Amino acid sequence: MNAYNVIFFVALPYAALLMFLVGTIYRYKATKFKFSSLSSQFLETRKLYWGSVPFHWGILFLFFGHLTAFLLPSSILAWNQQPVRLMILEVSAFAGGVVTLFGLIGLFYRRLVDARLRKVTSIIDIVLEALLITEIFLGLWIAFGFRWGSSWFATVLSPYLKSIFTFSPNIDAVVMLPFVIQLHIILAFIIFLIIPFTRLVHVLVYPLSYLWRPYQKVIWYWDRKKVRDPQTSWTMHKPQNN
């Protein structure tokens, strides 16, 4: 266990976790106005379609795939017992990666070539998209070159990640992994680390509650049933407007 391994596989994940939690919560509390997907569709819509749609569906698919493998490794292993099912999983995951990469490169290209978009592109946007492109490219390389990822992820990486989350880090297995895979892991932590400084915070405010809230929304400054009642009008709670 040399110092680099400790830095990258123990210190970095905890730093990422801490930064992610503290950073996003602080940013949400202090600068709520800055929480936005910062859509640029208004300035350019056609290329966005070919970038954003494949990228987002792809990345969500990949994200939930990784999440399942991490949380329920046994389910993946059970699924993979039959070669056909293994192939289905591997091929669809690889295809998902290709679609995501295609979309992301499209998004990146779009930001670089369009004069209007350059006005709404920050350095961190470029850094983020470059990181994501590298990460997905590495992921595809791994899927192609180190088969079968879905199986060894469950046996090698899931226990490692679990050891991180249970605060008893065990890096014996990860330090043995090929460099490409290590880089993929390190980059993932870095992406997590910079979430609070990027537009990725939009993922955290996904508007799921829209599904069960009533369509219309009316807000009163005060409780209207009580405001004309001198007994109660001065004792009510502070309304939730902002």
Partner 1 sequence: MDVRSQIAMVFHLDKCIGCHTCSIACKNIWTDRKGAEYMWWNNVETKPGTGYPTKWEDQDIYKGGWRKNGGEKISLRGSGKYKGLLNIFHNPYLPVLDDYYEPWTYKYLDLIESPAGGDQPTARPVSLVTGKPIDIKSGPNWDDDLSGTPEYARQDPNLKNLTKAEREAMFQLEKMAMFYLPRICNHCLNPACVASCPSGAIYKRGEDGVVLINQKVCRAWRMCVTACPYKKSYYNWNTGKSEKCILCYPRLEAGHAPACMHSCVGRIRYLGVLLYDADKIEAAASVPEEQLIDGQLDLLLNPFDEDVIRNAKENGIADSTLKAAQTSPVYKFVKEWGLALPLHAEYRTLPMLFYVPPMLPVMASLSTTDDSEQAVKLDPIAKFWDKHHRYDTTSKTIMQTVEQARFPVKYMANLFGTGSEEKLIEVLKKQLAVRVHRRHVTVGDIDADLTNATLNEVKLTPEIADDIYRLTSLAKFDDRFNIPPAHRELAIEMMDFAGDTKGSTGFGFKETPQRGL
Which residues are near ligand HEM by CB under 6 A?
37, 39-41, 48, 52, 56, 59-60, 63, 107, 111, 128-129, 199-200, 202-203, 206
What is the nearest approach in angstroms of ligand HEM to the Cβ of residue 149? 19
219 CB-near residues (< 8 Å, 6+ apart): 239, 241
95 CB-near residues (< 8 Å, 6+ apart): none
Do residues 128 and 149 lie in contact, with contact meaning Cβ atoms separated by under 8 Å?
A: no
What is the nearest approach in angstroms of ligand HEM to the Cβ of residue 160? 21
- Find which of ligand HEM, partner 1, none residue 30 binds, CB within 5 to 8 Å per kind: partner 1
Looking up tokens 């070159």, which residue turns up? 145
Closest CA relative to residue 239, chosen from 221, 225, 227: 221
Comparing CB distances to ligand HEM, the nearer of 56 and 162 is 56
What is the nearest approach in angstroms of partner 1 to the Cβ of residue 99? 13
Comparing CB distances to partner 1, the nearer of 9 and 20 is 20
Q: CA angle, corner 185, sides to 4 and 121, nearest 5?
A: 110
What is the nearest approach in angstroms of partner 1 to the Cβ of residue 100? 12
Query: Which parts of this chain interact with partner 1 (CB under 8 A)?
Result: 30-45, 48-49, 52-53, 55-57, 115-116, 118-120, 122, 124, 197-199, 201-202, 205, 207, 209-211, 213, 215-228, 236, 238-239, 241-242
Comparing CB distances to ligand HEM, the nearer of 77 and 120 is 120
- Find which of partner 1, ligand HEM, none residue 34 binds, CB within 5 to 8 Å per kind: partner 1
Do residues 159 and 170 lie in contact, with contact meaning Cβ atoms separated by under 8 Å?
A: yes
Do residues 76 and 68 lie in contact, with contact meaning Cβ atoms separated by under 8 Å?
A: yes
**Can you tell me the distance from the alpha carbon of 40 to that of 139, in angstroms, rounded to the nearest whole number?**
28
